[in-house]
Amino acid sequence: MVALRRPRRSSTITTEILCAAEGALKGAAAAYGAAAGAAPPVTLLNKRRSWPAQLSILAQHHRAVNSVSFNPAGTLLASGSEDRSVRLWDPLTGEQKAVLFGHAGQVLGVAFSPNGAYIASASLDSTVRLWDASTGEEKAELAGHVDWVRDVAFAPAGAPGVPGRLLASCGDDKSVKLWDLGGPQPQLRYTMLGHTDVVSSLCWAPNGNLIASASSDLSIRLWDPTTGPPEVELAGHVDKVLCVNFAPDGKLLVSASADGSMRLWSVAERRAKGVLLGHASNVVAAAFAPGGHLVASAASDNTVRLWDPRVATESGSIEESYASHMDMVTHMAFSPSGHTVASAGADWTVRLWDPSDGNHRAMLQGHAAPVHALAFSPNSKVLASGSADKTVRLWQPQLGEQQVLIRGHT
């Protein structure tokens, strides 16, 4: 196991940005320019230019947006909010297509099935709900958790059985639950127990043969979706584990923790492969680049960092000289093309970075409160950001330009 030293190029990213993660989007209202009828500026750091970004205001949100997710075709965007609703949007026009009511508590997470036919939502009301993506009709209420449900994820298309047939959820009741959606009515297949504290996030291996879960009990657990019981407990962190993600080939797993470190795990060997040190506080998000050659991390020390998992050494960090977050970074996301890293922060901004050299490409301004969530469209051409200002914003990453401002949660 290799412990990495602090990076030679320390990145103190300083521009109050709050980044929110894969697949999740929290709403922040961008009052800037809305009252005056003008669009907020977008600054391109490399060209040192800014210009008004075009936007469209649909309706007024009244509560924060917690999560966002694109369907596989990129033709529909779902957002989950503190207002207890899930809303469906046309990402090209910002038109609201449907409002999905049913939850009795705020919605923390939303996810599309691999075929795009269904949406799953996780809520503080202790339920998971399944919705028809084309009609907005509620198909089922999945009751079984006895506390907040924090995360939900469909099995990938490569999983055994029908794509989208299996759904995993986790929450404050310390459990991971696996739901079978293949029959006339969804059925609870397994309740997977083992964690001794809140399970904050989960993810599927790319081939669907494993589920990884991250918990406040300081551990990661791997579960076999065909049998239920955990295959192994991965221990090593000394504080809450906040995030887990598999590499694209499924051979490595990265975990991010409140202990300020990330760990790389060999999935085949079920052991730690490296400890990535450098952040000065909670690492809230970590993800592999689509090619698997880089890992990006976001932390509450206001920085985003880039690491090389192949040699378990840091390849670089985002340079302070390009521009910095002024407040904690809450999330980051790679574009599916792998050409862009987006980060969101408590400084109300979204930032775009070049993962090849850490160059800061653009600062996307407009939100009027911390940004909690980010999601790229499948073709990488649209970036959605959600914020505590009750809005969803759609940006064109190639231009550093805002495309649409979405309001509508109540």
> What is the per-residue pLDDT across 123-149, written as a single tens digit (0 to 9) for each?
999 999 999 999 999 999 999 999 999
**pTM exceeds 0.95 for this model:** no
The domain that contains 352 carries what CATH number?
Answer: 2.130.10.10
Q: Is the pLDDT of residue 49 over 50?
A: no
Residue 157 has which token pair?
Answer: 């298309």
Domain that holds residue 391: 2-407
Span between the terminal Cα atoms of the chain, in Å: 49
Residue pLDDT, tens place only, 285-303: 999 999 999 999 999 999 9
The pLDDT of 154-167, averaged and rounded, is 82
Kindly report the backbone phi and psi dihedral angles of residue 22, in degrees, each rounded to the nearest multiple of 5, phi listed first.
-45, 95
In 3D, which of 375, 300, 377, 302 has the Cα closest to residue 342? 375
Task: Please state, in angstroms and rounded to a whole number, the distance separating the CA atoms of residues 350 and 357.
Answer: 18
Task: Please state, in angstroms and rounded to a whole number, the distance separating the CA atoms of residues 358 and 365.
Answer: 20
Say what the pLDDT of residue 13 is. 30
Residue 6 vs residue 217, higher pLDDT = 217
Residue pLDDT, tens place only, 337-392: 999 999 999 999 999 999 988 888 888 888 999 999 999 999 999 999 999 999 99
Residue 36 vs residue 244, higher pLDDT = 244
Say what the pLDDT of residue 92 is. 86
As for how many domains the chain has, the answer is: 1
Q: Give the distance, in angstroms, between the CA of residue 246 and the centroid of all CA atoms in the same chain.
A: 14
Determine which helix (DSSP H) or strand (DSSP E) holds 214, and give its type and residue range.
Answer: strand 211-215
Instruction: Specify the range with the lowest mean pLDDT, choosing from 83-87, 174-178, 363-367, 400-404.
Output: 400-404
Residue 362, CA distances (Å) to 46, 351, 352, 353 in order: 8, 6, 5, 7
Residue 281, strand partner residues: none
The pLDDT of 206-215, averaged and rounded, is 96
Place of tokens 């509450």: 300
Residue 285 vs residue 278, higher pLDDT = 285
Work out the pLDDT band at 29, boundaries 50, 70, 90.
very low
Q: Describe the strand order of the beta sheet including 383-387 as a list of residue ranges.
A: 371-376, 383-387, 391-396, 401-407
